[in-house]
Amino acid sequence: MKAASVSDYRELARRRLPHIFFEYIDGGSYAEETLRRNVADLEAIALRQLVMRDTTKLDMTVQTLGQTLKMPVGLAPVGMAGMYARRGETQAARAAAAAGVPFCLSTVGVCSIEEVAATGAPPWFQLYMLKDRGYMRELLQRAKAVGSPVLVFTVDLPTPGSRYRDIRSGFAGAGPLRAALTQAWDGITHPGWTWDVFIHGRPHTLGSVQGAVTEGRRVTDFLAWIAKNFDRSVTWKDMDWVRETWDGPIVVKGVLDPEDARDAVRAGAQGLVVSNHGGRQLDGVKSSISALPRLAQAVGADLEVYMDGGVRSGLDVLKALALGAKACFVGRPWAWALGAGGQRAVEKMLDVLRAELAVAMILTGCTDVRKAGRSLLDEG
């Protein structure tokens, strides 16, 4: 099967990856209502087709937080990408650099911040606030030392949402024997993944937080430790604590409410990501795209506004720009592509998004993504 769309990469990843890891990428929390809304609400938005416009020259570049993006897309933080392809975070970082877009490394990535930065393109770094503040300070210093240009402070995970697919697959909540048998069977039935990742992709730890974990050997043990150490006491005042160590731009990720968006401005953030964690946290909340216009209006020009959640095409990217986003971050699309075929597949997936965005711009008469507005939508 040759991939032509993002959904094709999903199917290729489903075939290649062990069941437990595909379900981890693909699933949401509880009944997955918000996961479905993210996609459905974007699909329901109609673009306004305009003809007989000169669209010979298209400009997809955007300037944000001191960087120039070749298109308004970035790779969102995705946990455990090193279990989808050999040293997966490094492969994704190289793909993003080739496309001229940012890659954001998850706190719970298999590859460390130093390993990813060694590719030549220091990533944006996503911070989960854990209880061990001393280690968090050290982690921020490490990100700063390797030249990470932006800190993405994820605030919607004081505790993990229940992801029923992970329980059903045996990825979470299984006893040691069942977990070992499940993983062994997955390995036997997916020999390509076993050769690429299980044998040649070691070590299978969470590289950036490895020094803080005193127990466990498997990546699932690390995740269990992380889940127990999320800090539920974090408030907006803790932005001051972050600033003591980090003097670069801070983007707050996981905001859905205008009140929180205004609090992010007051706390000194430079950007925010309108996000419901890809439908993996509080199920039943609104989609990212439906929350976007009110948040963009609430902060005006005070913050750079990005969006993630449900983006499956370049057409979706243009819809988000029309509703106030500066750029979109995609998570599952690049994780699926990575699982399907590593760096090259991620590069091709980004090419697909670019080509789709170009067609959408031409057929709506939009020649500059920086000028995208609601006039591109058919709201009649």
The CB density around residue 366, as the number of other CB atoms within 10 Å, is 26
Q: Are strands 73-75 and 104-105 parallel, antiparallel or unpaired?
A: unpaired
Alpha-carbon distance of 197 to 185, in angstroms, equals 15
Nearest CA to 314 out of 283, 273, 359, 270 is that of: 359
* Three-point CA angle 303, 264, 149, nearest 5°: 60
Instruction: Confirm whether 277 is a catalytic residue.
Output: yes
- What 3-state class would DSSP assign to 208? coil
Q: 302: burial class by Cβ within 10 Å (0-12, 13-18, 19+)?
A: middle
Considering 19, 190, 200, 277, which one is annotated as catalytic?
Answer: 277
Q: What pairs with residue 308 in β-bridges?
A: 329
Instruction: Please give the sequence-ordered ranges of beta strands (E in DSSP) within the chain, or none if there are none.
Output: 62-64, 67-69, 73-75, 104-105, 124-127, 151-154, 250-255, 271-274, 304-308, 327-330
Structure tokens at 7: 């959904």
Q: 61: burial class by Cβ within 10 Å (0-12, 13-18, 19+)?
A: middle
Phi, psi of 67 (to 5 degrees): -125, 155
Amino acid (1-letter code) at residue 71 = M
Q: Tokens 């039943």, residue?
A: 284
By annotation, the residues acting in catalysis are 277
